[in-house]
Structure 1
Amino acid sequence: MECLCDEKKTNDIKVEGDVGADPFWCHHCGCNLDSEEFPISIELRDELMKWILKYGEWINWTNDEVVSNGVELEEEHNRIGRLLTDKVKKELRGDYKVSFSPSTFAKKYSKK
């Protein structure tokens, strides 16, 4: 997969949510990777895109604060992300090293 590393490609990827981005990232250079280029099923690609569209439901973007029950929303998002990462690993059959990078915003910034 092409990225911004010195080698211009990677097989070490992470699944991570972010606003307006595909869920695949180079684990080394942080380049966002086009999910269409991965040999995964349409069903899994759709699941990943639905998951990514929910990224940040725990954030009040106007105030840059955590919404009430934001920690729980983020934890659920991360739980689903881990399950999807396992599906990605299975479908890529060892051709890529795949890890999951959980969101930590709500956990870091929630008022206790």
Structure 2
Amino acid sequence: MYCFCEQKETLVLKVEGDVGADPLWCNQCSCNFDLEDIPISDELKGELMRWGNKYGKWIDWDKDKLIPNGIEMEEEHNKQGSILTEKVKKELRGKYRVKFSPSTMARGYANNQ
């Protein structure tokens, strides 16, 4: 995958949710990859997009605060992300190393309330 790293290419990907972004990134330079460019099944691409689109649902963005059960929602999101990461690893076996970067956003909001 071509990215912004000095060597212009990475073999280490991370699965990470973020608002408005596809959930696959370069683990070094944080370049966000278009899922369409990743050599995984369309089924897995769909699962990743559905998962990624749920990122941050535990935050009331208008009030900038954690919603009730927000920490539990984030924990469930992280569990699903970990499962999806294993699926990505399986499909990319031998081509890329894949890591999971769990969200910790809810805890930050909880500590500030």
For Structure 1 versus Structure 2, the TM-score category normalised by the shorter chain is: over 0.9
5+ residue gaps, structure 2, are: none
> 1:25 is paired with a residue of what secondary structure?
strand
One-letter amino acid of the counterpart of residue 18, structure 1: D
Q: For residue 27 of structure 2, what is the amino acid of its counterpart?
A: H
Query: Which residue is equivalent to 2:104?
Result: 104
The letter for the 2-side match of 1:106 is A
For residue 37 of structure 2, what is the aligned residue in structure 1?
37
The equivalent of 1:80 in structure 2 is 80
Moved over 6 A (4+): none
Deviation track 1:62-105 (CA, whole Å, cap 9, x = no partner) reads 12211110000000000000000000000001210100000101
1:27 counterpart residue number: 27
Q: How many residues align?
A: 112
Q: Distance in 1 between matches of 2:95 and 2:18?
A: 24
Gaps of 5+ in 1: none
The secondary structure found in structure 1 opposite 2:49 is helix
Q: How does 1:11-26 map to 2 (within 5 A)?
A: 11-26=11-26
3-state SS of the aligned residue for 2:98?
strand
What CA RMSD, in Å, does the superposition of the two structures yield over aligned residues? 1.1
Q: How many percent of aligned residue pairs carry the same amino acid?
A: 59
Q: TM-score if structure 1 supplies the norm length? A: 0.95
**Cα separation, 2, equivalents of 1:41 and 1:21:** 19
Tell me if 1:8 matches 2:18: no
Q: CA deviation at 1:38?
A: 1.2
Give 1:34 shift: 1.3
Instruction: Report the Cα offset of residue 110 of structure 1.
Output: 1.1
Which piece of structure 1 moves more, 73-82 or 31-40?
31-40
